[in-house]
Amino acid sequence: MEKKNILKQFQVEGDIASIEPYGSGHINHTYLAQMADDKKYILQGINTTIFKDTDQLMENILNVTSYLREEIVRTGGDPARETLTVVMTNDGKSYYTDEEGNKWRVYDFIEGAQTFDAVESKEDFYQSAVAFGNFQAKLANFPADTLHETIPNFHNTAKRYRDLEKAIEEDVKGRVAEVGPEIAFVRERSKELSELHDMLAKGDLPLRVTHNDTKLNNIMIDSDTHKAICVIDLDTVMPGLSAHDFGDAIRFGANTAAEDEPDVSKVSLSLELFEIYVKGFLEGCGGRLTPNEVKVLPMGAKMMTIECGMRFLADYLEGDVYFKISREKHNLERCRTQFALVADMEKKWQQMCELCQ
C-alpha cells in the first residue's frame, strides 16, 4: 500500500507533499511526511517481529505520553516539544493495519531539534543524562506495574545467563571450543547476575518506569539552545530498574572504544564521562531516587555491560541469528569488547562508587 494512502488513514492536516525515509533507526521503518503547508509528521512502520503485541505497545506509549503531557503542563513546559504526540487514525485508533497486515503509526514532528548517533561533545552526553534522569523524575509516581512488558525478560540478566548456558550446551555451530576464556569470564561472575533483581524482589529497590534504550540518539536536542528537550523511541518503555537505564547509557557512551572494536586494549571506562553522566542523571532525577538506587548505579553499569556481552556471545554460538553482522566474528568481537569493559569497571570500582555518592 502506498505511503500516502497509509498517511491519509490518520488525522493529519493538509495535503501531502512528500514522504521520504528518515533517521538511522534499525528496528522500525521511519519516514518524514512533509505537508503542503510545511507541517511535518513522522510515519512509522512498526516492527511486529520484535514487538509482537501492537495493542500493548501502543497502550504503553499512549499512557506514558499522556501522563508526561500533564506533568509538563503542570511544570510550565511545552508538551508539543517535550514529549511525543501520537496522531490517531480517522476512526480513533492509535495505529493502522494495512491490507498486508503491516502496522503503522504517526507522530507529530518536533521542529527545531535533532538527534546525534555518537557523543560529539561532553555537553551532549551530559544533556542526555539530564533528559533520562528527568524522564525518571516525571514518571516517578506513574504506576510502573500497569505497563506491559513489550519484550519479556528484556533486562533479566540471570535469564540471559541461562540462555547463554543453553547455547553453550547445544553448540549448534561447533563454536564453543574457541570461546573458552569468554565462557569462563561469565561463569566466574554468575553469582552476581541476579543481584539487582533479588534486591527488587526483597523491596530494597523500587519498580520504575524505564526507557530501556538510553542511547544518545533517543534524545532530541534543541538546535538553538543545545539543551535536551524530548525522550523519543518509547517502544521499550516497561517496568524496570533505574540502574538499568543508567547502566546501559554508561555501557554505550562512556566506553573509550567502539562497541565492536577488535583491539580490546583500546577498551576502557572513561571515568570523566562516567562522572559527567552521574552528575547529569542525578540532577535530572531531582532527588527522586532512593539511597539504594544511587548506591547500585555502578552495578547497573556492570550488569548492563555483561548482559550485552552474554547476548553477543550467545548469538555467536547460535549462528548470528539476532544481531546483524558485517564480518565473520563480529558478534564475538562485540562480546570481547563488552567483557573488556566489565573488567576495566572492576578495576575502577572504588572510584565509580565514590563518584555516585
What residue has cell string 563518584? Answer: 355
Closest CA to 124 of 223, 23, 235: 223
One digit per residue, the tens of pLDDT, for the chain of length 357 reads 799 999 999 999 999 999 999 976 667 889 999 999 889 999 999 999 889 999 999 999 999 999 999 999 999 999 999 999 999 999 999 999 999 999 999 999 999 998 887 777 899 899 999 999 999 999 999 999 999 999 999 999 999 999 999 999 999 999 999 999 999 999 999 999 999 999 999 999 999 999 999 988 899 999 999 899 999 999 999 999 999 999 999 999 999 999 999 999 999 999 999 999 999 999 999 999 999 999 999 999 999 999 999 999 999 999 998 888 899 999 999 999 999 999 999 999 999 999 998
Closest CA to 208 of 151, 138, 299, 157: 138
Task: Find out whether 75 and 95 touch, Cβ atoms under 8 Å.
Answer: no
Q: Which domains does the chain have, with CATH numbers?
A: 3-111 (3.30.200.20), 122-356 (3.90.1200.10)
User: What are residue 239's DSSP bridge partners?
Assistant: 209
Query: Which residue intervals of the chain are DSSP H helices?
Result: 3-7, 54-74, 79-82, 122-138, 157-170, 180-188, 195-201, 242-253, 271-285, 291-295, 297-318, 330-347, 349-356
The residue type of 251 is: R
